[in-house]
Amino acid sequence: MATAAPRAHRQSLEWPVLVSVLCSPQNYPLYIRSVPTENELKFHYTVHTSLDVVDEKISAMGKALVDQRELYLGLLYPTEDYKVYGYVTNSKVKFVMVVDSSNTALRDNEIRSMFRKLHNSYTDIMCNPFYNPGDRIHSRAFDNTVNSMMMQVC
Amino acid sequence: MADEALFLLLHNEMVAGLYRAAEQGEGENGRCTTKLESMGFRVGQGLIERFTKDTARFKDELDIMKFICKDFWTTVFKKQIDNLRTNHQYLAFTCGLIRGGLSNLGIKSIVTAEVSSMPACKFQVMIQKM
């Protein structure tokens, strides 16, 4: 573990976004992409936990007077090392992104526009007649969008 | 507009083609309607994904129905639905379109259409409570 830690850190500097995940309305994954690291399982765990927060946020929005009806949910929860952001489309597809805490270049607005980009790309996939809604996403165009997003130099 | 006519022709041919295929094969009439309906369903899902991309989150079912009736309807049919040359088979695709749209927004429904007097068409949307 002692050797793994600095390596993970170095990677995180090169990769501002560590994980991006799309989940169906039933909470099974449609797409997972994470930085190549041995901690992948931990990321999956983090994302999985965050889905509960997403659900909570949506249901709270339904009854509360809070007129925060944006698709972007903002910061779901910060941990010591990561920040987890969420986004839910009107069709209840959940997008989750995990970002390194030490990265201060990524502000709320940047994250929001990244989610927008993801959503645009996802819409294109939904409108592809050869894609079955609910299937795992295997699309080169989508891969490219995510790649460019994750490796974007800040 | 020219694209409107193209879509109309495509829709006509879709229905005609399916029925022609059914006549040659052994498939019965009911299956054609189902097929058309499911085609509409898929298209509706895709359309909704696109249309709701920049809208705010919907509060409740009423909000969703309002969206379907206003934005969705005018985008899909431009004017009134009247101008589709209607009879029951022709409406299968349209019913599916609405059902698909609703389903993608998390509402399970049954959509039926009926034509009582020719230029008018009534769509009935039954929402299934979960």
Domains of chain B (ranges, CATH numbers): 1-127 (3.30.1380.20)
Q: What is the average per-residue pLDDT within B118-124?
A: 72
Between the alpha carbon of residue A64 and those of residues A14, A56, A57, A59, A69, the distances in Å are 40, 12, 10, 9, 11
Predicted interface score ipTM higher than 0.90: no
Extract the tokens encoding A11. Answer: 């990677």
B43-75: pLDDT as tens digits: 888 888 888 888 887 777 777 777 777 778 788
Contacts of B58 in chain A (CB under 8 A): 90
Q: Please tell me which of the candidates A69, A119, A129 has its beta carbon nearest to residue B57.
A: A69
For A85-109, write each residue's pLDDT tens digit.
888 888 888 888 888 877 777 778 8
Question: What's the whole-model pTM score?
Answer: 0.76
Residue A27 Cα, gap to closest chain B Cα (Å) = 14
Q: State the Cα–Cα distance between residues A22 and A146, nearest whole angstrom.
A: 11
Closest CA to B58 of A95, A73, A61: A61
Q: Quote the crossing angle between the two packed helices B29-51 and B88-104, to the nearest 10°.
A: 40
Q: Which of A88, A109, A6, A91 is nearest to B45 (CA)?
A: A91
For chain A, give the mean pLDDT: 78
Instruction: Assign a CATH topology to domain A17-152.
Output: Beta-Lactamase (3.30.450)
Task: Determine the residue of chain A that is closest to B43 in CA distance.
Answer: A127
Q: What is the pLDDT of residue A2?
A: 40
What values do phi and psi take at A87, rounded to 5?
-155, 135
Q: Which of A98-107, A140-149, B5-14, B22-31 has the lowest mean pLDDT?
A: B22-31
How many CB atoms lie under 10 A from the CB of residue B71?
13
Domain boundaries, chain A: 17-152
Least confident span in A28-32, B18-22, B116-120: B116-120
The arithmetic mean of pLDDT across residues B21-38, rounded, is 74
